[in-house]
Chain A
Amino acid sequence: MLKVAPIVQEDQELILSSLSPGPVQRRLALLVVLGILIVFLLITVGPFSDVQTKPVAAFVPAYVMAMFVCDTITAILLFAQFSVVRARAILIIASGYLYTALVLIPWILTFPGVFGPQGLLGGLQSTSWLYFFQHAGLPLFVIGYALSKDADPAERTWHGTTRGAIATCVVLTAALVTVVAIVCIGGEAQLPRVVLDSLRLGPQWPFAAAPVALLSFAALIFLWTRRRSMLDLWLMVVMCLYTIEIPLSYYPSPIRFSVGWYTVRVFGFLSSCLVLIVLLYEIEALYARLIGAIRAERRERVARLMTGDAVAAAIAHEVKQPLTAMTTSASAGFRFLDRSSPNLGRAKEAFEQIVADGHRAAAVVDSIRAIFRNDIRTRSVLDVNELIREALILERADLRRHRILVQSAPNEQLPEVQGDRIQLQQVLLNLITNAIDAMASRDEPRVLSVSSAAYEDDGVIVSVADTGAGVSTQDSERIFNPLFTTKSDGMGMGLSICRAIIEAHQGRLWVSPNSPQGAVFQFTLRA
């Protein structure tokens, strides 16, 4: 059973692999590519082509170790992305980086000079062929990633367990690397001669290398036509690096440990690092945004609570004044009567005051209602669907944060209604916020559906449905009571005020159960 809700459109902005790169990143990528080209030119035809370099024994192991670690971490991060996003494309590119890491193992085992003068395993040709296979691997996976990205959304998503998928890919990749290693090491005798000795590359080398370079270039083109996200951008830079590495290995000098060879190794390390650095940077940025968003949400919550609380305190205080006068006068009147010689005059005065205070209390309550009902004269003709759209836009951040799927089903044939735009907006926002709260602690799927329809002759009915905990039948009227709340830290004023507003618009607001779970709040308005 599908446990993760489908990724809502609004969520795309949060997912690393589909974040679109800003102009800064694009410029940076361009700079990196230009830098690579300049270095390439300097070394092949420029002043550096004559530089002599010596073989450094420790270079190869150190370099392999660094690349292995970088590629593995990149693969791990991309597999983690997959477990969240469930896109096959991410699984493919993650496997690509894992392949790149694993194939380094047979490569270093066969490299002459590291584990023995002829390498621990394999023959002279093994190392170079392993290099070709390694160098062809990532571009192939990138092409798979590019093709998979734009497939049908239904096909794009993985519908099994993510752990199973990751385990399968890891095993398959390891198997692939093993096969490649066997071919290059065991079948060394059958491989074409591309290497002359442990240092020099042979004249056949470019012919074997050319297809690999073309493959990298093809991967670049595939990505170029399908690029959308940050990940695509930096994978393209990596493919540039891969393409340029091939000619740089052979020109100006087809010798290992030449300046060109060292540069190729450095490029290789760079291509391992790039995607990793970008992923880590974006993770930090997301983390910061998350903290900021949580803080903003808390502040907003507190502000909302305080407003409701302040209103309640004001109301309480205003009503307590006449009530106090009434009880005090009642005690006084009683005492004036409860004497051996009752003072009827003062008792009567006291009771008259009580009556007057009772009316005063009613007037206080009415004046408070007037605050909420203020500007009933500012009624205008409204488009209910427009109100719904605006409310959903205002709540978009909250909905996204809680990964709530929004289904909006506006009926386009709605009659126009009269009402106070601001107040009705408040009602919608309140109902949506309640829905979000009801679903916040529930398992997915979380679905909010807001719909509108014609009602009776000239009215409109709006429904806000959630898949949260729902409202029990005994509470279905109590929740509109001003002091009722099921929230541990909230004021219950919201729904009572909403009902007051709707009733001031000659409508009704009520709640009914949603199937299979949750609540549906509906209100009616008339023209």
Chain B
Amino acid sequence: MNDRPPGFTIAVVDDDQRILESLQDLLESADHAVRLFASATALLDSGCLPEIDCLISDIGMPGMDGFELLRAVQAARPQLPVILITGHAELLDQMPSVVLGQYRLFKKPFHGEELLAAISDLGSGPVT
């Protein structure tokens, strides 16, 4: 436990490279460890799903979108905190009606501090 960084290990999934990088900066400024993925399938194929403490994902992505990723992740790790971000406000109407584990939704652009606060809230007590 001592050689782990004080924060969480967070996976970020977004098809926009600049958003990935900026999120990495933000999360590392809060001393989290960050794993970046350009697509949902990249995350699932990497096999590091068991190791992460939190997932941040864009919703609108080509191929597998954020909702489908959410379902896949719920199957594997039902208690994993997930934060979804979206640039399409109208997707709010299509939120999955089933409450899956713990999740939050953020609209782009979001407040960095609020995102970090949500991560702390959701992830209090990292799960194995």
A interface vs B, CB < 8 Å? 313, 316-317, 320-336, 343, 346, 349-350, 353, 356-357, 360
B interface vs A, CB < 8 Å? 16, 18-19, 21-23, 25-26, 28-30, 60, 85, 87-88, 90, 108-113
> Judging by beta carbons under 8 Å apart, are A332 and B110 in contact?
no
Closest-CB distance, B17 to chain A (whole angstroms): 9
A334 to B26, alpha carbons, bound, how many Å? Answer: 9
Among B28, B29, B109, find the residue whose CB has the most chain A CB atoms closer than 10 A: B29
> Judging by beta carbons under 8 Å apart, are A331 and B109 in contact?
no
Q: Which residues of chain B are near A324, meaning CB under 8 Å?
A: 19, 22, 85, 87, 108-110
* Contact residue among B18, B30, B90, B110 (Cβ-Cβ distance under 8 Å from A353): B18
A473 to B34, alpha carbons, bound, how many Å? Answer: 55
* Contact residue among A317, A320, A346 (Cβ-Cβ distance under 8 Å from B25): A346
Closest-CB distance, A218 to chain B (whole angstroms): 72
Closest-CB distance, B25 to chain A (whole angstroms): 4
> Judging by beta carbons under 8 Å apart, are B108 and A321 in contact?
yes
Closest-CB distance, A166 to chain B (whole angstroms): 55
Known: A320-B108, A331-B111, A331-B113. A325 touches B19 (CB 8 A): yes
A-B contact sample (9 more), CB < 8 A, given A317-B88, A325-B21, A332-B112: A313-B88, A328-B110, A329-B26, A331-B111, A331-B112, A332-B22, A332-B29, A336-B25, A353-B18
Q: Which residues of chain A are near B113, meaning CB under 8 Å?
A: 331
A356 to B108, alpha carbons, bound, how many Å? Answer: 18
Closest-CB distance, A111 to chain B (whole angstroms): 76
A336 to B23, alpha carbons, bound, how many Å? Answer: 13
Closest-CB distance, A405 to chain B (whole angstroms): 41
Query: With contacts defined as CB atoms under 8 Å apart, how many contacts are there between chain A and chain B in the complex?
Result: 82
Closest-CB distance, A355 to chain B (whole angstroms): 12
- A322 nearest in chain B by CB position: B18
A159 to B25, alpha carbons, bound, how many Å? Answer: 80
A349 to B109, alpha carbons, bound, how many Å? Answer: 20
* Contact residue among B26, B85, B108 (Cβ-Cβ distance under 8 Å from A332): B26
- A317 nearest in chain B by CB position: B87
Q: Which residues of chain B are near A317, meaning CB under 8 Å?
A: 60, 87-88
> Judging by beta carbons under 8 Å apart, are A321 and B25 in contact?
no
A336 to B25, alpha carbons, bound, how many Å? Answer: 9
Closest-CB distance, A20 to chain B (whole angstroms): 50
* Contact residue among B28, B87, B111, B112 (Cβ-Cβ distance under 8 Å from A346): B28
A-B contact list, 10 entries, CB within 8 Å: A313-B88, A320-B109, A324-B109, A325-B16, A326-B22, A327-B109, A327-B112, A328-B109, A353-B22, A353-B25
A112 to B26, alpha carbons, bound, how many Å? Answer: 109
Closest-CB distance, A150 to chain B (whole angstroms): 60
Q: Which residues of chain B are near A343, meaning CB under 8 Å?
A: 29
Q: Which residues of chain B are near A333, meaning CB under 8 Å?
A: 25, 29
- B27 nearest in chain A by CB position: A332
Closest-CB distance, B6 to chain A (whole angstroms): 13
A313 to B87, alpha carbons, bound, how many Å? Answer: 9
Q: Which residues of chain A are near B25, meaning CB under 8 Å?
A: 328-329, 332-333, 336, 346, 349-350, 353
> Judging by beta carbons under 8 Å apart, are B110 and A327 in contact?
yes
Among A323, A324, A328, A350, find the residue whose CB has the most chain B CB atoms closer than 10 A: A328
Q: Which residues of chain B are near A350, meaning CB under 8 Å?
A: 22, 25
